[in-house]
Structure 1
Amino acid sequence: MTSTVHDNPTPWIADHIRRFEETGGHPRPGVADLLLTTRGRKSGLLRRTALAYVRDEDAYVLTASNAGADRHPAWYLNLLATPEVTLQVSAATFPATARPATAAESARLWPAVVAAMPSYAVYRTATAREIPLVLVTPAGRAS
């Protein structure tokens, strides 16, 4: 299996990844962004995307919003199949483990997620699906 990382081909996400790299991990002032690399559930290839996050103790909280689409984003389906992922936060890159938040965790975390990115509230009303939150914990730490 290859270790080459394939960036998300969606133009605005590819641009976000490029800006992340050019700015040392700070593409949008005032927004916490990271790069998430998952293993493709079908292809087996490494796939990278850019996401906003909030922190919950040791975990990075990601929102599988897919901009309010009626289907989950590919990165979310990939980490369900293979929860071992790689995160890049600012200049630090490290292995981590991802898992969907429980219902209780999601209820507690949604206010913080929406406070950080108000568009997520709009996305929740745009789709009939439950938008999952994901907790990603650096390897070697409990979540």
Structure 2
Amino acid sequence: MPNDFNQRVIEEFRAHHGRVGGPFEGGRLLLLTTTGARSGRPHTTPVGYLPDGGESVLVIASAGGAPQHPDWYRNLLAHPEVTVETGLFTYPAQAVPLAGEERDRAFARAVESDPGWAEYQAKTERVIPVVALHPIAVDGPPKSSAGSLSEAITIAHDGFRRELALIRKEMSRSGPVLGVQLRANCLTFCHGLHNHHTGEDLMLFPGVAARHPQAAPLLARLGEEHERIAELVAELREVVGGGDTPTARGHVVRLTATLEAHLDYEEEHLLPLLAAMEAA
């Protein structure tokens, strides 16, 4: 039977490319579509997630500490191939429940970032599962919810801004030693930003240059800013490995200021060119 609350969240998530209000506002949320264990029909559920340092993410089958596993977990046990929606991209993934010490370490990371997970575990006798969602490689570009390239860039930029704000908030309440999950959050952000800028450098900017030769100074400036941001990202990766929160916080503040200025400039000057190309 459909859950009215979940359905409202799903509709809001899709309408606003991953941004939702209510209890999920400001958190990390994805839409997970599984295949019904008995019905064989698709079922979509909003699920909070934990970054895992790269392409994969972790989801936790807490069900608020209920005595039984949530339906989506039972579904993926029967059908491990799932679909993940991020707000911008939709992709297939392989769901792998973690076991033993690997599960315990991942759950400890979750508790470190939010003690509420421990409260859920204390409410139930079952061991709350942790599941890794590993993207499955497909041919061609990923499926996007954006209607145009310029919209896709805007959505991606908004996602980077939201994630940086989350990381800054998490660091503000972190102790002197950087937690393991917070390190994973930083590394995942660095990985995603690197991929985004690499795609712009290798594909987007040459395409714009071919259509708009007069944009060469703009593209050169954006490329130089990418290099500066890459330096800041490399520095953040290094200090995150050291585990000192105040040092990492300072690097995140510098990266935030530089990146936000870059995103604002790109949106002001590059997006109109893309819109003109799309309208032609």
TM-score class normalised by the smaller sequence: 0.7 to 0.9
User: Could you tell me which residue of structure 1 aligns to residue 19 of structure 2?
Assistant: 26
Aligned match for 1:99, one of 96, 103, 109: 96
| TM-score, normalised with respect to structure 1 | 0.85
Give the 4+ runs in structure 1 shifted more than 4 A: none
Matches within 5 A, 1:1-143: 9-27=2-20, 28-57=24-53, 58-140=55-137
Distance 2:17 2:59 in 1: 20
For residues 117 and 12 of structure 1, what CA distance do their matches in structure 2 show?
23
Which structure would you say has the larger Rg?
2
Q: Offset of 1:105 from its aligned partner?
A: 1.7
Change (3 A) 1:115 1:72: same
Greater strand proportion: 1
Aligned length: 134
Aligned AA (1:52): G
Change (3 A) 1:47 1:67: same
Once the two structures are superposed, residues 20-67 of structure 1 have per-residue CA deviations (whole angstroms, 9 ceiling, x without a partner) of 123211213431100000110100101100000001133210000111
CA distance in 2, matches of 1:115, 1:20: 27
- Considering only aligned residues, what root-mean-square deviation do their CA atoms show, in Å? 1.8
> Aligned letter for 2:6?
I
Alpha-carbon deviation of 1:12? Answer: 2.3
- Which runs of 5 or more residues in structure 1 are unaligned? 1-7
Distance 1:116 1:12, change over 3 A: farther
Which one has a larger percent helix, Structure 1 or Structure 2?
Answer: 2
> Which structure exhibits the higher relative contact order, with contacts defined as CA atoms closer than 8 Å and separated by 6 or more residues?
1
